[in-house]
Structure 1
Amino acid sequence: MAANYWESSQFQRFLLTRYELAELESGHMVHNLSVTEVTHLKIFFANMIMRIGKRIRIRQEIIATAVVYFKRFYINNSFYDIDPYLMTATCVYLACKVDENPHHIKYVWSESKGAFAEVSTDIRFPFDVSDIAECESYLLEEMKFYLVVYHPYQVLIDLNTHLKLAKPSLQAAWSIINDSFCTDMILVYPPHVIAIAAMFLSRVVDQGSLSETDALQWYADLNVDMTDVLQVVGELLAVYDVWSTYSEWRIPELVYRYIADIAASC
């Protein structure tokens, strides 16, 4: 099954445990930022990358690659080290090249600047194309030139050939995977676990073409640790709960407060 393939894949070496992730994040976290505010920041920058991606009309998988690059960089760095808006544009630019849909650096710069202006006049973006080119070098070095990203999307499509979800259910699962990139679970869990959690959360048992009994048997045959799947489901539900308190217009001020607090502690 697909699960066995993913479990044996080389990418498993690059996943973090929850403990490792918490340790890395704590190394550059400021004390007066709440867990909710940190989650809001993750939602905000994932959405910013998506906003830029829509402006330059790239596929969802490329947008997701850019989000993963952004996360990989800031696992070991803070917003004080490199401006997150510059890194956002850079991640989109690099992801387009890696996924063989390149766009001119000036175009990415222009559309990024436009996307930031759409969100808030408080967002300062005093950078030019040379800054993106220089930032790309830092990003590549930080990721040790490991640019491969395995996404849950293809796993969802492959698994759906067996479960045969109704179209609304498949679209719901795809949307849930999109939302998962507002969290760090892509750094912790294999893609097939996230895909199965999205299918589970979209209520596939009663919306798919299989009977409830057949659907439950299908889950059992996957040979996947359902503890991990249910953990992902729980984390997604927790993020949706935090999302209810999210206000995009407040985030730019929070970003600069975060940077200022890091600077003050140095």
Structure 2
Amino acid sequence: MATDFWASSHYNRWMVDRATLKQARAEDSQYVDDEEYLNFLPIFFANLIAKLGKKLQMRQRVIATATIFFKRFYVKNSYCDTDPFIVIAACCYVAAKAEEAPVHIKNVVSEARMLFNNEELGAKSFSPDHSKLAEMEFYLVDDLECDLTVFHPYRTLMALCGKDGSAAEAGELGAGVDDGPRYWGTGEGKLELQEGALQMAWFIINDTYRSDLPLLYPPHLIAIAAIYLTLVLHSSTRALLHAQTNTQSAGSASSAHASAQQGSARRSSRSSSAHAKKAPQDIVGFMAGLNVSMPLVATLAQEIIALYVRWERYREDAHATQQDSARGAFAHTYAKRAASVGSAGTASTGATPSADEPSAQGPGERVPLVVTPALMMQVLANMRERCQRDREMAAHGQGGRTVAVNKVLERAQAAG
């Protein structure tokens, strides 16, 4: 099962639709001033998971698994009913075990306290008691239904574009090799990308974890969408693609030309003559030969672009840089282009917000142009305060509401 996505719990139990996600956030939407804030929470929480993972020296695959665990947990729970910070710590702790790179619980608690209790976040409620995290682990695994096998797009990316015998990060291909039917076509050959282009595709996949896309689409589609965006946005690769397109349009029919190119590539691979010049790879033919719906890939690519447009409004601080993200490479330029043609509805104007604009929000006001972690902390605090107030009012009347995870933890600790 670990090598067959279609028979895995990931595909059969944890691929959800948008109606399910909307239902999962229904309770939170009652306690937030503007529902648009809920679109920024995945960015906020994914950044925190990445920061904690780096402090614990976790590989990118472990961080990605922890992020998926967090998203799955909140398919069944609401932000206002739980403490997301202890959930983040538990997700990192469990993900490290699931990916066979365990970290000590004391290290997780120590690093989490240093991260969450700083002046910027001020999550003073995070407890130094190791038993609370150990207990939260059981509640997390229970809500995950013990489904700890997660498939990531990195494996497909390296299968389609990785050089033989190498990977961008050791161990990212996972355990074992899929001997079943390939879901990306014949599997003959690989797409030859420059190192910078392959790195950009890897970063795009990293960035998709700041959204709900990993819950909505299979990982191989996300990987192909990342390759598709890379072909469009990586300058030298785009220039090569344009040159090949012009060459093909000047020749015979595209299908015959693609067949000739593939035959030439196979003959050149078998030839050992030093003077034979290798024919350029037919990138368009390779993408067209994938056994996936290209309109669906294009739709997914547009959703990734919409994520970047939204992410442009989120700032860790006034002088933050995103050196580990594809966003810093092309999102600003593409956001303007997307806004001008209306491909991303979240951008009503093509202007990029200034980092100096105020981020404070009063009751009933719209989401400001610049969203910061401090503002997200304020939103979470307001949501939990309003939720708690309604709980107390309901306790004197109807009562009988579902006991949240944080309530279970409090009662368990009180009982000793």
With normalisation by structure 1, the TM-score equals 0.90
Aligned to 1:43: 43
Aligned to 2:292: 224
Range moving further from structure 2, 12-21 or 96-105:
12-21
User: 2: CA distance between counterparts of 1:186 and 1:33?
Assistant: 27
Q: CA deviation at 1:86?
A: 0.6
Q: CA deviation at 1:121?
A: 4.8
User: 2: CA distance between counterparts of 1:230 and 1:145?
Assistant: 34
1:169 to 178, 188, 197: 197
Change (3 A) 1:223 1:256: same
Establish whether residue 196 from structure 1 lines up as the match of residue 224 from structure 2.
yes
User: 1: CA distance between counterparts of 2:118 and 2:193?
Assistant: 37
- The residue correspondences of 1:101-112 to structure 2 (distance < 5 A) are 101-112=101-112
Contact 1:56 1:108 in 2 (8 A): yes
Secondary structure at 1:150's aligned position in 2?
A: coil
Provide, for residues 52-87 of structure 1, a one-character-per-residue CA deviation record: whole Å limited to 9, x for no partner.
011111100100000011111111111233200010
Range moving further from structure 2, 13-22 or 81-90:
13-22
Contact 1:120 1:252 in 2 (8 A): no
Establish whether residue 207 from structure 1 lines up as the match of residue 237 from structure 2.
yes
Aligned to 1:68: 68
Contact 1:41 1:255 in 2 (8 A): no
User: 2: CA distance between counterparts of 1:86 and 1:133?
Assistant: 10
User: 2: CA distance between counterparts of 1:65 and 1:261?
Assistant: 32
Q: CA deviation at 1:218?
A: 1.1
Q: CA deviation at 1:12?
A: 2.1
Q: CA deviation at 1:41?
A: 1.1
Range moving further from structure 2, 255-264 or 40-49:
255-264
Q: CA deviation at 1:119?
A: 6.5
Q: CA deviation at 1:134?
A: 0.8
- Number of matched pairs: 261
Change (3 A) 1:166 1:33: farther
Q: CA deviation at 1:89?
A: 0.6
Provide, for residues 112-134 of structure 1, a one-character-per-residue CA deviation record: whole Å limited to 9, x for no partner.
11122456252223312111111
Change (3 A) 1:37 1:121: closer
Q: CA deviation at 1:27?
A: 4.6
Secondary structure at 2:29's aligned position in 1?
A: coil
Aligned to 1:133: 134
2:380 to 255, 258, 262: 255
Secondary structure at 2:139's aligned position in 1?
A: helix
Greater RCO, CA 8 A, separation 6+ = 1
1:238 to 279, 282, 306: 306
User: 1: CA distance between counterparts of 2:98 and 2:45?
Assistant: 20
Contact 1:30 1:261 in 2 (8 A): no
Aligned to 1:181: 209
Letter in 2 for 1:244: E
Aligned to 2:152: 151
Contact 2:25 2:78 in 1 (8 A): no
User: 1: CA distance between counterparts of 2:31 and 2:88?
Assistant: 24
| Percent identical | 35
Q: Name structure 1 gaps, 5 residues minimum.
A: none
Establish whether residue 116 from structure 1 lines up as the match of residue 148 from structure 2.
no
Provide, for residues 144-186 of structure 1, a one-character-per-residue CA deviation record: whole Å limited to 9, x for no partner.
1111110001111111041121111111111111110011111
Aligned to 1:98: 98
User: 2: CA distance between counterparts of 1:31 and 1:165?
Assistant: 47
Change (3 A) 1:99 1:236: same
Change (3 A) 1:118 1:177: farther
Change (3 A) 1:121 1:31: closer
Contact 2:191 2:283 in 1 (8 A): yes
User: 1: CA distance between counterparts of 2:149 and 2:306?
Assistant: 28
Aligned to 1:26: 26
User: 1: CA distance between counterparts of 2:300 and 2:122?
Assistant: 35
Range moving further from structure 2, 64-73 or 248-257:
248-257
Change (3 A) 1:226 1:116: same
Q: CA deviation at 1:29?
A: 3.0
Q: CA deviation at 1:28?
A: 4.4
